[in-house]
Structure 1
Amino acid sequence: MEYSTFWWLLAGLLVIAELLTGTFYLLMLALGAVLGALTAYAGQTLTTQIVVAAVLGAAAVFACHLLRKRSPSRQPASSNRDVNMDVGETVMVEQWNSDGTAQVRHRGAIWTVIGRPGGMPTPGPHRVAEVIGNRLLVDKV
Structure 2
Amino acid sequence: MMLFWFGLAGLAVVAELMTGTFYLLMIAIGFMAGGLAAIVGLSHPLQVVLSAVIAATAVLLLRRSRFGRRRKLEAARDPGVNLDIGQRLRVEAWQADGHARVSYRGADWDVDLAPGQVAASGWFEIREVRGSRLIVAAVDPHKA
Question: Which category of TM-score, normalised to the shorter sequence, fits these structures?
Answer: 0.5 to 0.7
1:84 aligns with 2:120: no
User: How many aligned residue pairs are there?
Assistant: 126
1:94 aligns with 2:93: yes
Partner of 2:19: 21
After the TM superposition, which of the residue ranges 16-25 and 50-59 deviates more from structure 2?
16-25
CA deviation map 1:91-122 (0-9, x unaligned): 443254xxx542279xxx99845104899xx6
Aligned ranges 1:61-76 → 2 under 5 Å: 61-68=59-66, 73=71, 76=78
- Could you tell me which runs of 5 or more consecutive residues in structure 2 were left unpaired when the two chains were aligned: 140-144
1:39 aligns with 2:37: yes
Give the partner amino acid of 1:130: R
- Could you tell me which runs of 5 or more consecutive residues in structure 1 were left unpaired when the two chains were aligned: none
Shift in Å at residue 77 of structure 1? 2.1
Decide whether the 8 Å contact of 1:113 with 1:138 is kept in 2.
no
* Partner residue of 1:52 out of 50, 53, 60: 50
Shift in Å at residue 23 of structure 1? 2.3
Shift in Å at residue 60 of structure 1? 0.3
Query: How far, CA to CA, are the matches of 1:20 and 1:66 in structure 2?
Result: 24
Shift in Å at residue 19 of structure 1? 2.1
Give the partner amino acid of 1:115: D
Give the partner amino acid of 2:86: N
Give the partner amino acid of 1:55: V
* Partner residue of 1:12 out of 4, 10, 13: 10
* Partner residue of 1:114 out of 80, 89, 111: 111
Residue 9 to residue 63, structure 1, CA distance change in 2 (3 Å): same
Shift in Å at residue 12 of structure 1? 1.4
Partner of 2:142: none
CA deviation map 1:62-116 (0-9, x unaligned): 01111148868376227xxxx8363xx8x443254xxx542279xxx99845104
CA deviation map 1:32-57 (0-9, x unaligned): 10111111111111111111111110
Give the partner amino acid of 1:84: G
Decide whether the 8 Å contact of 2:102 with 2:111 is kept in 1.
no
Give the partner amino acid of 1:53: S
**Coordinate RMSD, CA, aligned:** 4.0
1:130 aligns with 2:127: yes
